[in-house]
Chain A
Amino acid sequence: MNARAEIRRGGFWLVALLLAIPLINLAAWHVGAFLNPLIPAALWLVALGYAARHAHTLWPLLLVLPAFGVLLLGHPVVDWDARSIWFFHAKRIFLDGSATAPLDNYAAWSHNDYPVLVPAMAASFARGLRHWNEIFPKLAIFATTAPVLLLMGLLLRNTLAWGLWFTAVLALAGPLLINGYVDALTGLYFGAALAVAAHLQTPDVPPAQRPVFAWLLALLIAALTLTKNEGLPAAGLAALMAFTGPRWRRVLAACAAGFLVYLLLWKLHVWQARIGNDLFVRSPLQQALERLRDGTSAPLILAQFVRHSAPFLMAALALAWVGRQQRPVLGGALVVLGYAALLFGVYLMTPHNLDWHLGTSVSRTLLVVNLALVTFLAWALTHWRAAPAAATPSLSRLTEPTA
């Protein structure tokens, strides 16, 4: 392997370590410990050093990463869900000393079943500061989001492509990138998981780099499921897409590891605490059938999807059509469309008033679709030639040797 490829592999390992930090931190809170924020701070200094050393492609990160941190600290947590859910859970973890603090179901309106990857990180920043305040724990947003910015810098390998992608992320996410909501983060993890899963299928990845990409996929799957409840189906679809390609045994192991982390660090505890989700208080299937029959609900949902996501859904369709000969491209586009279809189904099943539920959430739930598509599209356009053809018969993978 030449020196340049070796250096890039080092960069991907660095991203893997940065992605692992919030997961390790969450695991630590389960045993009453926490990850001292000086550790991620030191790692981010190393990452900035890495970006400076590879400034020919990564120089925008030298501006964006420090600015991101400064922006986060210039405004307290104000917005509704950020205070009532994410940073309330963070405060509970910080004060009660356990990742499972919200699972006593105090203040049930704060959706205590929501996963706590970001809240646990915020609790660690507060613990590092030795007191809670309404600003400093927001650095958890940096610690969880910034690894994706570096990962995309390494994957896209082109300053202009990264700049265009990041501009699209800013335009789509707006304040949701820094106000304490986790929807933009879910979309970025989803898109990055798709990009890594697709990248793993291309001949662009030399054998020596395959382990780091398998680790990245496992970490992204775990982080995606632990960010928001919607992350679980998104991770499931991303895993399905990865599994249909070559090197599927490695991918299967990576995805299984990611889901196991989710089970161990969150879902088993939620089951144990017997906390349900408010979406499933009555028969969801019956509700969906009723809404399909009433003739007004489905068009109402469709109208909102068109309003918030029409260009992105059309772009996903176009990508699936144009890239139909390239298995990873086709797979990624279909996963984004599949996730949008799943969201449509969730709105059909909601036990809440449909107008209210759409009005309060659809712009954020579809942001996940839009960001995932934009992130995957950026990868697809920069790796178009590298993506292998889709002509391989689907069952032939069963006889392929493990990579």
Chain B
Amino acid sequence: MGIYWAYWVRQQPWQANVFASSLAPDAGEHAVPREVRAMKALAQRHPAPAYRLDPAFVEHPLIFQRATEFLYSFRIARHSPWLLAPDTHSPANCRLIDQQQNVALYECPR
């Protein structure tokens, strides 16, 4: 039994550096896609009640769901004037506010 328990533990994705940092405010953020971490950095620099995601992000379930939960308490709302989009897009009638890695924040007045 003991051998099986040890084998079971070895199968788990345990990392000493993660354990050592488990109390830190940003601990474990590497579990989130890079784009989503960039979105959060932008949201923290330019706080707004809600942000809109570009369709390229909405259509990507991983990015969409991670953005929704990781950005919280910032909300994702379809009608927000604050647009988070890939920096390769240039949405019409929008003003670039800031950029972080490959994500850009635009203001799109409606």
- Residues of A near any B CB (own CB < 8 A): 64, 67, 70-71, 73-78, 80, 83-84, 87-88, 91-92, 95-96, 106-107, 109-110, 129, 131, 133-136, 163-164, 166-167, 170-171, 174-175, 178
Contact = CB atoms under 8 A, between A and B. Distances in A.
Contact of A76 (B16, B25, B31, B68): B31
B16 to A, nearest CB: 7
Contacts of A136: 22-23, 27
A186 B72 CA distance: 28
Contacts of B1: 163-164, 166-167
Given A77-B28, A91-B72, A134-B28, A170 B4 contact: yes
Contacts of A74: 12-16, 18-19, 22
B81 to A, nearest CB: 19
A167 B12 contact: no
Contacts of B25: 131, 133
A164 B1 CA distance: 7
Interface residues on B, range: 20 to 34
Contacts of B8: 170-171, 174
Interface of A is mostly: helix
Contacts of B29: 76, 133-134
A309 B68 CA distance: 35
Contact of B14 (A75, A84, A91, A96): A75
B26 interface: yes
Contacts of A96: 73
A131 B18 CA distance: 17
A95 B72 contact: yes
B92 interface: no
Interface string B23-45: 11111111110000000000000
